[in-house]
Structure 1
Amino acid sequence: MVNGEKERVSLLFMKALVSRGSVDAVSQQMASHPQYLESFLRTQHYILYMDGPLPLPYRHYIAIMAAARHHCNYLVYLHSAQFLRVGGDPLWLQGLEAAPARLRLLDHINKVLAHQPWLTACSHIQALLKAGEQCWSLAELVQAVVILAHCHSLCSFVFGCDTDSDFAPLAKSPNDTPPTFCPFDAANGNTNVPQSLASLDSGCDMVCLKERIQKSREEQERKDERFLQTQTLQQTDMEEEEETICFADPSRFVTDPDFCYQEFARRDEDHFQVLRVQDYSWEDHGFSLVNRLYSDIGHLLDVRFRSVATLPSVHSPDLKRAIWNYIHCVLGIRYDDYDYGEVNRLLARDLKLYIKAVACYPDATKTPVCPLSWTLLKASERIHVNLLIMEARLQAELLYALRAITQYMIA
């Protein structure tokens, strides 16, 4: 990184340390692309913490539900800890059945968006908006859908960059007792934090960061103290041992675990219609709808999509376009003005297999096999491909969900 980029990343990390008490591993990996990282963090902070119709505990619980569909330990642990930090009820972390009925109603649309987004229908929206006393408002539902899509796509990045493997073994220590730390408090002075989290990107001056956050130390200590007071959940069954909330088992938040990705191309085309971008696109339809129902989020998401497409890279624009369109293709979205022969010409078979695995079933192999063609690429270029996969998937899920909402509104 050049000095200007180092300074930019340092400032972003400082904000993360002050606001959350840690610089998470995902941010560290994205740091090689500071322009994108800034747009990502701004969007994530907005949907999880800024003004919106949903209370903060609901937002993190929805994130837990989304991450659990892909058995993403990393994100489930992260949002479990944040759920408690913002005052969430520890009992909800016993499992989905312990959550309020309104949250449980999101389970079906969460499942569909995560694995077969083309199934998202007007009826799903209607069921949520007309559920009697447990009904959702349109504004609440839009924010929930954005959080679900954001976290589903982030799971793809986590598995694509092999971040989740650092956390799966930590659920229990060798003697079957709860761990003594939460892996997301890398800045709380805990010397047992895994090295993968304790060290920042080599381009970031840790000494400088420590100096800058010194003034926020007292505030952070108060946050840590409040967190430690709520960190452990006493199970209702007193015979069970206490568990550290950070390490809630993702399977607790999953119903119908056999529901998974299916090959869209092999489906009955009379029943599953291709979503043609000429009929419903982000630019002409999705952006304006989501921005109207959830103020400013459309602009923030649009910056993310544009940022990842314009990042400096050794990858040609044609290659990046092929990656984006291929992901949309396997998720049932087609561009009438695109020659799909370009996908086979520009993407080697092993790269296509990798992209499809990370985009559609990221947790199936836990650690997707990297293409041989990547061996000569820098880490930042491999991360760039994973960013493209994440953003293309995010936009695809949003298109299906927003199209269903549009159909409901005009019905």
Structure 2
Amino acid sequence: MIICANKMEYPLRTQCQRAHKQVMSGETERVSLLFTKALVSRGSVDAVSQQMASHPQYLESFLRTQHYILHMDGPLPLPYRHYIALMAAAQHHCNYLVYLHSAQFLRVGGDPLWLQGLQAAPPRLRLLDHINKVLAHQPWLTACSHIQTLLKAGEQCWSLAELVQAVVILAHCHSLCSFVFGCDTDADFVPLPKSTNGVPPIFCPLDAANGNTNSLDSSCDMVCLKERIQKSQEEREKREELLLQTQTLQQTDIEEEEEMMCFTDPTHFITDPDLCYQEFARREQEHFQVFRVQDYSWEDHGFSLVNRLYSDIGHLLDDRFRSVTTLPSTHSPDLKRAVWNYIHCVLGIRYDDYDYGEVNRLLERDLKMYIKAVACFPDATKTPVCPLSLAPLKPSERIHVNLLIMEARLQAELLYALRAITQYMIA
């Protein structure tokens, strides 16, 4: 009987192993497909997508949302969208995102002169400066009066639909800065001085081009992926060669645009360099009221408002929030919730039904310091910020923590902005 049991156990174990390989193969294929789509449409796979590749379910949701707000139907013209994203990234001195959106801004027909700095932008865009810096550094200061100023600014006024899309872009890019710095993407970024084919580049050069593929999870089939990348790149180069043969390029103008784009200085888009994150819970700031989720939540209030004013974005954002909390991880659900609620807490948002003693019980001091730094002042992580507790984690697990930080911060900024919009609408 024992022998028989062992014979039955072996094929069962084999089936489990095969099933696991099939799942891993499916995930690898999913990542490869996403990367191939990026190569065909953009000619490159950006470093952020490479970092997120260890969580393909989330990556797909993230790319879908980002593509929608930056490229699909919406009230704002495409150059405005990338310029707003650039303004948001500049608040955290994120060279990687400033470069990326400068390039895309030019690619969709943006005026190169605007890249000289915020003072060169149209007055309507300059009006966004205040809410941009407040959401980035002290979102609890977002008030109904800020919304009123934007919606009643005479000839330069914003429509409600335009403002909602702008707020979503700002919050998306602020939180993405946290991910970029948390994963050291900005530290490894070096702008490309000249494009090789006369076309403004879309993304910064990848470490993968130099043989550094550590940012990809080991489960990815690198051989298959590299073959697809090489094949897609060759096809793209052939198309571009044919295009160059049939068109006369104004090389001088292009070189001027590239020169301006490559040296876009984030500080030229910052009007208040002294504004930064401050402790919400300081005693002398007790006049700031705690944001209670029971009074205004994403599920009961924010989702319906943003979805009504900016069609379908609520569903896309909701899918991001859900996917990041359900990703496979060694972290327990309680620890994930502790990370999420801790980030909201340092940004002034509280849950009445949560025991905050769980935060101190589940999160080590070094991990709390890391989470707070990446969420609240990510550009300060250019210098070491006690990431000791993250060192033993696998790369994919560290990325998962950074994804939680990014999404919790995104939701917090949206809650503050949408509550202010709601207060304006019912005033």
TM-score by length of 1: 0.89
Task: State, as a whole percentage, how many aligned pairs show the same letter.
Answer: 78
After TM superposition, list the pairs within 5 Å mapping 1:77-116 onto structure 2.
77-116=99-138
User: Which whole-Å CA distance do the structure 1 matches of 2:252 and 2:330 have between them?
Assistant: 49
Secondary structure of the 1:233 match is helix
What is the CA deviation profile of residues 22-72 of structure 1, one whole-angstrom value per residue up to 9, with x for unaligned ones?
110000000000000000000000000000000000000000000000000
Give the letter for the 1:208 counterpart: R
Stretch moving more, 371-380 or 396-405: 371-380
Give 1:15 deviation, angstroms: 1.4
Asked whether 1:233 is paired with 2:253, we answer no
Alpha-carbon distance between aligned partners in 2 of 1:324 and 1:13, rounded to the nearest angstrom: 29
CA distance in 2: counterparts of 1:45 and 1:112, whole angstroms: 25
Q: 1:246 deviation in Å?
A: 3.0
Q: Is residue 209 from structure 1 mapped to residue 229 from structure 2 by the alignment?
A: yes
String of CA shifts for 1:153-193, please: whole Å, max 9, x gaps. 000000000110112xx46xxxxxx82349xx9999x9x94
Per the TM alignment, residue 371 of structure 1 is displaced from its structure 2 partner at its CA by: 2.9
2:41 to 19, 35, 55: 19
Q: Which runs of 4+ in 1 moved over 4 A?
A: 185-188, 196-200, 212-231, 267-270
- Residue 363 (1) aligns with residue 368 (2): no
Aligned twin of 1:142: 164
1:352 is matched with which residue? Answer: 368
SS of the residue 2:187 aligns to: helix
Paired amino acid for 2:336: K
Q: Residue 179 of structure 1 contacts residue 244 of structure 1 at CA under 8 Å; is this kept in 2?
A: no
2:207 counterpart (167, 172, 195): 195
Aligned pair partner of 1:157 in 153, 156, 179: 179
Give the superposition deviation at 1:244: 4.4
**Aligned partners of 2:250 and 2:175: how far apart in 1?**
28
1:107-153: CA deviation from partner (whole Å, max 9, x where unpaired): 00000000000000000000000000000000000000000000000
Listed one character per residue, the Cα deviations across residues 83-124 of structure 1 (whole Å, up to 9, x for unaligned) are 001010000001000000000000000000000000000000
Q: Does 1:180 align with 2:203?
A: no
Q: CA deviation at 1:281?
A: 0.4
Deviation of 1:367 after TM superposition, in Å, equals: 4.3
Q: What is the CA distance between 1:364 and its match in structure 2?
A: 1.6
**Alignment match, 1:302:** 318
Residue identity opposite 1:318 in structure 2? D
2:301 is paired with a residue whose SS is: helix
CA contact (8 A) 2:151 2:159 kept: yes
Label 1:108 to 1:220 Cα distance change in 2 as closer, same or farther (>3 A): farther
Kindly indicate whether residue 90 of structure 2 is the aligned counterpart of residue 68 of structure 1: yes
In structure 1, stretches of 5+ residues that fail to align are 172-177, 235-241
Distance verdict in 2 for CA 1:48–1:221, change over 3 Å = farther
Listed one character per residue, the Cα deviations across residues 283-333 of structure 1 (whole Å, up to 9, x for unaligned) are: 000000000000000000000000000000000000000000000000000
2:250, 2:365 → 1: CA distance? Answer: 47
Q: Partner of 1:132 in structure 2?
A: 154
After superposing the two structures, state which structure 1 stretch, 301-310 or 218-227, moved more.
218-227
Structure 2 residue matching 1:165: 3-state secondary structure: coil
The size of the alignment, in residue pairs, is 392
- Aligned mates of 2:184, 2:124 — CA distance in 1: 33
Paired letter, 1:376: P
Instruction: Specify the alignment match of 1:175 in structure 2.
Output: none
TM-aligned CA deviation for residue 369 of structure 1? 3.2
Partner of 2:18: none
CA distance in 2, matches of 1:198, 1:143: 37
Looking at structure 1, the residues matched to 406 and 348 of structure 2 have their Cα atoms a distance apart, in angstroms, of 16
Partner Cα distance (2:146, 2:43) in 1 = 38
Give how far 1:21 is off. Answer: 1.9
| 1:20 CA displacement | 1.8
Asked if the contact 1:21/1:186 (under 8 Å) is kept, the reply is: no
- The 8 Å contact of residues 70 and 362 in structure 1, kept in 2 or not, is answered as yes
- 1:386: which partner in 2? 402
Equivalent in the alignment of 1:289: 305
Q: SS of the residue aligned with 1:23? A: coil
Question: Is the Cα–Cα contact under 8 Å of residues 43 and 236 in structure 2 kept in the other structure?
Answer: no
> CA distance change for structure 1 residues 196 and 115 in 2, over 3 Å: closer, same or farther?
farther
The answer to whether the Cα contact below 8 Å between 2:304 and 2:314 also exists between their aligned partners in 1 is: yes
User: Secondary structure at 2:382's aligned position in 1?
Assistant: coil
The residue type equivalent to 1:50 in the other structure is: M
Matched position secondary structure for 1:261 = coil
Q: For the residues of structure 1 that align with 2:168 and 2:68, how far apart are their CA atoms?
A: 11
Separation of aligned partners in 2, 1:104 and 1:134: 10
- In structure 1, what is the equivalent of residue 266 of structure 2? 250
**CA distance, structure 1, for counterparts of residue 251 and residue 73 of structure 2:** 26
1:42 to 53, 61, 64: 64
If you compute each CA radius of gyration, which structure gives the higher value, 1 or 2?
A: 2
CA distance in 1, matches of 2:104, 2:169: 14
